[in-house]
Structure 1
């Protein structure tokens, strides 16, 4: 059995510094957008030296990547808790839609769009397989379970159904500013996805 090493005071300070930089960077991204964000402004707000920023985050894109990872983990944890309770596939699709929309509410439309741009960028700093995306994995598993239960057509592809559904959610959220129209469109997206999966 491997013994866990207790973090040192230096490790704790390094983590605190990283968190300060991340918080300052998010605030700057909200204000100026990633392209317009100034590292000088970020380090001044975080109270660290210029080189300290690059020690923790090689580029501004790496800050967004860290934020994306954290949001993915948070949404996945919330979605997993939802899935542990009694529900149907319609409820699961509605729940994951609300969780993704919650990211936009927390960070605002400009930063949410920056996150989406990074998410789909072919030049993102690090590439990942879909199995590294916890939300997709959970949604694929949910569709597969519904298929085994006879609620989804057996030939429906769970992976593509999950990915196309989430792409639809991202598309609606990033292209429509009217709250009522967005809500109605997201409801239609859920209904359309269910029809496409041949819910009986």
Structure 2
């Protein structure tokens, strides 16, 4: 779990370093407003990740909705930070938002709008894949620790075929770590490069 926390915190720290996080004002709960940041944002406000208040009761409700117990690593991830957006990975894995007291309702809303037929097939969605797919736990694979493999499905075939993505949730973050570090170094090197003289 330390790797997951490390990657999440590294992402948010760098996002704050390069200008902050912002979203439409109506989407940001009062407790997540970043009042230390000011900027000329039209119709948007700055927000910040906060310590998660997700409870075991909420997680149990989520598991009841999925019809499966969830991996311990994922449950710990949910208990680490609340956020409006968390995008990691080479192809833009955007985790479903986590807002205080809305974990279950927001997850249900996301799944029932876009991925309504996956749970009955034992795929448990938890993130979008860019703008063309979804990332899910494959609960068809038995696991004594509920440490399901991660798969992706895309709308190109109406979410029929799966593609292996990672062995498990924690393994996915080990992969994210290298991509995140590459992205941070690329951004930093671009900022240091002087503009070409015209």
Normalised to the residue count of structure 1, the TM-score between the two structures is: 0.24
The structure in which a higher percent of residues are strand is 2
More helix per residue: 1 or 2? 1
Structure whose CA Rg is larger: 1
Q: TM-score, normalised by structure 2?
A: 0.24
